[in-house]
Amino acid sequence: MFLETFHHIVAFIQLGGILNWILVGLYLVVLVLAVDRCAYFIRTGYQRNRLVAGIDSAFFASISDNGTDGQTPAFPWPKHYAKSQPVRMIALVLEDRRSTKEALDEAVDREGSAIRREMDRGLEALSVIGNIAPLMGLLGTVTGLMRAFHRIESLGGTVDIAAFSGGIWEAMITTAIGLIVAIPAVVFCRVFEKIVERRGEDMGYVVSLVSESLHEGTVENPRAGQSRESA
């Protein structure tokens, strides 16, 4: 049963020629990129409300003025939050808190750019596939129609409606497959771009919160706190 279905699918794809196989290859690329990006965003996921609430409570309310209590709270989130983009930015700011403002800003920009490239990985490929797949499908349809009309010409202009209709049907297969490839590529690309945009905004927001606190001298270096605790 499975082999029979597989043979039918292969025969259907072969009706459109080599372009159909190229489109099938692009479809597999879309699936691989989509799975990779889904796994990445799930692995680095977080709840924004919980993240902001943790900053407000642990990094501000629980620390006395100028950190004179000598206590530095650990990150108030689950361990997997450490992989999230905003928490990585917070860790960077706290680690480099004693640097000059210019050096800290440079480090934040550099790390932010690296994280943004990490989040954007594969999205350009999805966008390109979403744009070219329908055009490749249309190209296959046009070339298929050209073959159908050439066949009519070779027969001296005699039109066999059944044969001509079959030729058109085969020619339009590539357009259908092109759309099948393009639609999920565009959908995944837009969804991932929205996630990247939202997380980029969260990164900027948490950096501004922690940087403002550092400027006011209300957040203590976590490594210094850990050293005192171990002592």
Q: What is the pLDDT of residues 101-129, one digit of tens each?
A: 788 888 899 999 999 999 999 999 999 99
Return the pLDDT at 115.
Answer: 96
Does pTM top 0.75 for this prediction? Answer: yes
**pLDDT band, very low/low/confident/very high, at 231 (cuts 50, 70, 90):** very low
Q: Is 133 exposed, middle or buried (0-12, 13-18, 19+ CB in 10 A)?
A: buried
- The model's confidence at residue 9, banded by pLDDT at 50, 70 and 90, is confident
pLDDT at 211: 74
Tokens coding 109: 């920009």
61 neighbors 213 (Cβ within 8 angstroms): no
- Separation CA 205–CA 211 (nearest Å): 10
Share of the chain above pLDDT 90, in %: 40
Please give the pLDDT value at position 207.
87
H helices present in the chain, as ranges? 2-14, 18-43, 48-56, 85-95, 101-120, 123-154, 161-216, 222-230
Question: Which residues form the domain of 145?
Answer: 1-231
Q: What is the pLDDT of residue 220?
A: 46
Low-confidence winner among 87-101, 111-125, 162-176, 211-225 (lowest mean pLDDT): 211-225
The pLDDT score that the predictor gives to residue 71 is 43
Give the pLDDT score at 110. Answer: 93
Any idea what DSSP says for residue 16? Answer: T
Least confident of 145-159, 161-175, 209-223: 209-223
What's residue 66's pLDDT?
Answer: 46
Instruction: Tell me which of 93 and 139 has the higher pLDDT.
Output: 139
Mean pLDDT check: name the lowest of 29-33, 79-83, 131-135, 198-202.
Answer: 79-83
The answer on pLDDT for 216 being more than 90 is no
Q: How far apart are CA 91 and CA 202, in angstroms?
A: 14
pLDDT, tens only, 30-63: 999 999 999 999 999 998 888 877 776 665 544 4
Integer Cα distance of 25 and 230 in angstroms: 56
Residue 216 phi, psi (nearest 5): -85, -5
Average pLDDT over the chain, rounded to an integer = 80
Number of domains in the chain: 1
